[in-house]
Amino acid sequence: MTALLSFKDVWVEYGDKIVLERINLTIEEGAFVSVIGPSGAGKSSLLRLALGQEAPTRGTILLDDIPLAPECGPDRGVVFQHYSVFPHLTALGNVMFGLECAQSPLLAKLTGAARRQAREEAAAMLEEVGLKEAMHSYPAQMSGGMQQRLAIAQALIKRPRILLLDEPFGALDPGIRNDMHQLITRLWTDYKLTVIMVTHDIGEAFKLGTRVLTLDKWRHDPHAPHRYGAKVVYDIPLERNKQESLSQDDATQPLSIVPDDAGITIDRFDNN
Ligand SMILES: Nc1ncnc2c1ncn2[C@@H]1O[C@H](COP(=O)(O)OP(=O)(O)OP(=O)(O)O)[C@@H](O)[C@H]1O
């Protein structure tokens, strides 16, 4: 495997508040990286850096050994916890919109053969994520799980290499979450994606990831809690490969595969 994304001595600071410090990371192509840590540790900030939505205060981020452009390129797709789909468009319209923006940035509208092609591609992607029957439904007519499937289709239609997931399943019921775990595992394999997923659910992190990173403050100044940022305090490689998909049994089991020696308990909410 080769390095796809590298963080070199990356810091994120807001005014005098240090959120992330000394982040040194190499993420290999094809990895599924789960990121966990207490609330406020900077997990979403790390994703925003990878997305190019935010630049580091210090340090460098490289994509294929080239400094990351300060913009969200088509090589990176993102899905957030709260549904980020357009309410006034059908599922098909939502997914087509991504292609229309990419191919016709000024008008966001395609005509003729290009439109037919985009429609076919969008329909195929909706089928991939299990929304064939709901293609003409509006988001308000869909369940939370269906809306997240739609958000995933929207992110994947531009064929990103890196898929960034910010607590994508956090708002879903456990049964639906398990379905989504199966879906994301299949898409990760079929689309040869590199995934970086932030989650509050440690079991989910270990179940899905090939690697689990824990962000946390490693030193504290009780008089000035903003003075030190979080860094990667645990970086745990896991035995999971692309060929191995989650079986139905795995999906219905409680999420539980945290190794005893991982030394991780995420129950503190004092980083803010
Ligand atoms: N634009 C900003 N300006 C100032 N502070 C910010 C900004 N964005 C984030 N922060 C602060 O940075 C810290 C890290 O935020 P971030 O959302 O990355 O944490 P997180 O680990 O994802 O938290 P959670 O698990 O609660 O979602 C928080 O204290 C937050 O208040």
Alpha carbon distance 60, 145 (integer Å)? 36
Residue 242 lies in a domain: yes
- My answer on whether 68 and 21 are in the same domain is yes
Q: Report pLDDT digits (tens) over 33-63.
A: 999 999 999 999 999 999 998 999 999 999 9
Q: Report pLDDT digits (tens) over 1-39.
A: 578 999 999 999 999 899 999 999 999 999 999 999 999
Dihedral of CA 188/77/37/267: which sign? negative
CA of 14 to the centre of ligand 1 (A): 9
- Percent over 90 (pLDDT), the chain: 62
Domain count, the chain: 2
pLDDT at position 131 is: 95
Where a domain ends, among 121, 146, 171?
146
CA of 45 to the centre of ligand 1 (A): 6
Which residue, by CA, sits nearest to atom 23 of ligand 1?
40
Q: Report pLDDT digits (tens) over 244-263.
A: 556 555 544 444 445 554 44
Residue 200 CA: which ligand 1 atom is closest? 25
Residue to mutate, 35, 36, 45, ligand 1, most ligand atoms under 8 Å from C-beta: 45
Q: Is the pLDDT of residue 87 over 60?
A: yes
Residue 269 CA: which ligand 1 atom is closest? 26
Task: Tell me the CATH number at 8.
Answer: 3.40.50.300
Residue 267 lies in a domain: no
- My answer on whether 91 and 71 are in the same domain is no
Residue 114 lies in a domain: yes
- My answer on whether 250 and 177 are in the same domain is yes
Asked if residue 48 has its Cβ within 6 Å of ligand 1, the reply is no
- My answer on whether 175 and 67 are in the same domain is yes
Residue 81 lies in a domain: no
- Percent over 70 (pLDDT), the chain: 85
- My answer on whether 167 and 220 are in the same domain is yes
Domain that holds residue 106: 87-146
Neighbours of 264 (CB within 10 A): 18
- My answer on whether 252 and 177 are in the same domain is yes
- My answer on whether 258 and 227 are in the same domain is yes
- My answer on whether 204 and 248 are in the same domain is yes
CA of 238 to the centre of ligand 1 (A): 28
Residue 153 lies in a domain: no
Residue 257 lies in a domain: yes
Residue 193 lies in a domain: yes
Asked if residue 214 has its Cβ within 6 Å of ligand 1, the reply is no
- My answer on whether 168 and 248 are in the same domain is yes
Residue 15 lies in a domain: yes
- My answer on whether 181 and 64 are in the same domain is yes
- My answer on whether 251 and 175 are in the same domain is yes
Where a domain ends, among 146, 173, 190?
146
Asked if residue 38 has its Cβ within 6 Å of ligand 1, the reply is no
- My answer on whether 128 and 167 are in the same domain is no
Asked if residue 40 has its Cβ within 6 Å of ligand 1, the reply is yes
Q: Is the pLDDT of residue 272 over 50?
A: no
Residue 14 CA: which ligand 1 atom is closest? 4
